[in-house]
């Protein structure tokens, strides 16, 4: 077994226009002061990284690593959540997702998709240049508008959807394979990959591509009412990244999983700061340790109630207190009788 690395923090929700949140060095100093040991970097935010430059220049990547390491931190992974979303967008969502791409590509879905694919390929090279072995992204979605089977889905629609999604991702997965980096899909409502079954179908459609893996985030499973603990038993071999994010689900006689179009603060299912929700992190850390998870425990903060700075400050000790230092010996070694084949036969009566 391995001791999980951490605590680390995903910077996306904390970047801003005011110091210390407005550039990589100052925000790294801030998170280090809170007790974090690693940072996950959003590649769409130019205040953190120039993704194309990172793909093309090892020297630039060494500079980025130097900035982070000068603050006593490590880069855990890069993230292309926004670009990954744009690999597959149903036309009904074109206008809503245009904001994830450069303005020059707004209203140009084909060009936007090509840009997103290029971004992912840059991310593969950048991850290699930074010495990373895992990468976070979203799958995008062609079928989300059919998630509830009414109207009735046409025969073969889902198979065709996963074939197309795999077709779009295979060149990207191959680029990551060449770089020696795993693509870890965050299974998330709104994405075609949002639970175990959809991951399996996509994995099969890619020909069981070796770089097709999972970013485990229990908060999204709480909101779906999926057994997030048994999920680890089923898919632990695919879990190469871990977002430590809390959530709660409190259904009423008026609203349940679908939320009634309410804002986050009023939904029965909502994300919370660490320790304020219902996620059983003690069991999660135990299971991941048991299954030899070798990656980082990364705080992803999202809460409609608590201030992000308070959430970040509370998150580092919360994660640190849940990381299990693995034992190097069995608890009952003191009572061991040693290895003796003749004695074993005697005990067995043979």
Task: State phi, psi for 189 to the nearest 5 degrees.
Answer: -55, 140
Region 12-20: mean pLDDT is 97
Evaluate if residue 77 carries a pLDDT over 90. Answer: yes
Tell me the per-residue pLDDT of 152-187, one tens digit each, with 9 for 90 and over: 999 999 999 999 999 999 999 999 999 999 999 999
What pLDDT, on a 0 to 100 scale, did the predictor assign at position 273? 98
Residue 123 DSSP class: H
What pLDDT, on a 0 to 100 scale, did the predictor assign at position 31? 98
Region 44-66: mean pLDDT is 98
What pLDDT, on a 0 to 100 scale, did the predictor assign at position 327? 87
Tell me the per-residue pLDDT of 269-299, one tens digit each, with 9 for 90 and over: 999 999 999 999 999 999 999 999 999 999 9
% of the chain surpassing 70 pLDDT: 100
C-alpha dist (Å) from residue 203 to 120, 146, 159, 169, 189: 18, 20, 12, 11, 18
Evaluate if residue 215 carries a pLDDT over 80. Answer: yes
Q: How many CB atoms lie within 10 A of CB 236?
A: 16
Band (pLDDT 50/70/90 cuts) for residue 337 is: confident
CA atoms within 13 A on the CB side of 258: 6
Helix (H) or strand (E) holding 248: strand 246-249
CA 274 to chain centroid: 16
Going by C-beta distance under 8 Å and a sequence separation of 6 or more, which residues neighbour residue 228? 218, 221, 222, 279, 284
d(CA 241, CA 215): 5
Q: Judge contact between 11 and 42, C-beta under 8 A.
A: yes
Tell me the per-residue pLDDT of 247-272, one tens digit each, with 9 for 90 and over: 999 999 999 999 999 999 999 999 99
Evaluate if residue 97 carries a pLDDT over 90. Answer: yes
Q: Judge contact between 49 and 41, C-beta under 8 A.
A: yes
Where do the domains of the chain lie, and which CATH numbers do they carry? 5-348 (3.20.20.150)
Q: Are strands 246-249 and 38-42 parallel, antiparallel or unpaired?
A: unpaired
Q: Which two tokens stand for residue 146?
A: 């059919």
Q: Which two tokens stand for residue 169?
A: 């991702």
What pLDDT, on a 0 to 100 scale, did the predictor assign at position 255? 98
User: What pTM, to 2 d.p., does this model score?
Assistant: 0.96
d(CA 68, CA 74): 6
Evaluate if residue 334 carries a pLDDT over 90. Answer: no
Evaluate if residue 111 carries a pLDDT over 90. Answer: yes
% of the chain surpassing 90 pLDDT: 94
Helix (H) or strand (E) holding 8: strand 5-10
Residue 328 DSSP class: S
What pLDDT, on a 0 to 100 scale, did the predictor assign at position 336? 80
d(CA 173, CA 81): 15
CA atoms within 13 A on the CB side of 207: 6
Question: With DSSP H G I counted as helix, E B as strand and the rest as coil, what are the percentages for the chain, rounded to 5?
Answer: 45, 15, 40
d(CA 319, CA 341): 45
What pLDDT, on a 0 to 100 scale, did the predictor assign at position 340? 85
Q: Give the CA radius of gyration of the chain.
A: 22
What pLDDT, on a 0 to 100 scale, did the predictor assign at position 330? 80
| 216 beta partners | 242
Evaluate if residue 135 carries a pLDDT over 90. Answer: yes
């Amino acid at each position: 077994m391995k001791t999980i690395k951490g605590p680390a923090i995903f910077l996306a929700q904390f970047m801003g226009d005011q110091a210390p949140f407005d550039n990589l060095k100052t925000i790294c100093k801030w998170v280090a002061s809170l007790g974090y040991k690693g940072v996950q970097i959003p590649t769409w935010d130019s205040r953190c990284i120039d993704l194309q430059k990172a793909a093309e220049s090892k020297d630039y990547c060494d500079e980025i690593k130097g900035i982070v390491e000068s603050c006593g931190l490590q880069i855990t992974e890069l993230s292309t959540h926004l670009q990954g979303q744009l690999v597959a967008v149903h036309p009904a969502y074109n206008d809503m997702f245009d904001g994830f791409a450069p303005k020059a590509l707004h209203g140009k879905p084909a060009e936007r998709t090509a840009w997103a694919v290029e971004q992912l390929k840059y991310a593969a090279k950048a991850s290699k240049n930074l010495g990373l072995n895992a990468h976070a992204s979203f799958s995008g979605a062609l079928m989300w508008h059919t998630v509830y089977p009414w109207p009735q889905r046409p025969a073969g629609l889902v198979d065709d959807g996963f074939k197309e999604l795999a077709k779009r991702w295979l060149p990207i997965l191959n680029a990551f394979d060449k770089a020696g980096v795993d693509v870890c899909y965050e299974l998330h409502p709104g994405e075609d990959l949002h639970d175990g079954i959809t991951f399996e179908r996509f994995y099969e459609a890619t020909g069981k591509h070796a770089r097709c893996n999972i970013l485990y985030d229990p908060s999204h499973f709480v909101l779906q009412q999926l057994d997030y603990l048994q999920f680890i038993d089923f898919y632990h071999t695919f879990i190469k990244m871990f977002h430590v994010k809390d959530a709660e689900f409190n259904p009423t006689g008026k609203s349940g999983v679908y939320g009634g179009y309410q804002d986050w603060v009023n939904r029965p299912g909502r994300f919370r700061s660490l320790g304020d929700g219902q996620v059983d992190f003690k069991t999660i850390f135990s299971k991941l340790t048991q299954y030899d998870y070798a990656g980082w425990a990364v705080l992803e903060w999202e809460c409609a109630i608590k201030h992000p700075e308070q959430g970040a400050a509370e998150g580092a000790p919360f994660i640190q207190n849940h990381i299990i230092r693995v034992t190097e010996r069995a608890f009952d070694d003191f009572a061991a009788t040693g290895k003796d084949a003749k004695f074993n036969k005697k005990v067995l009566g043979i």
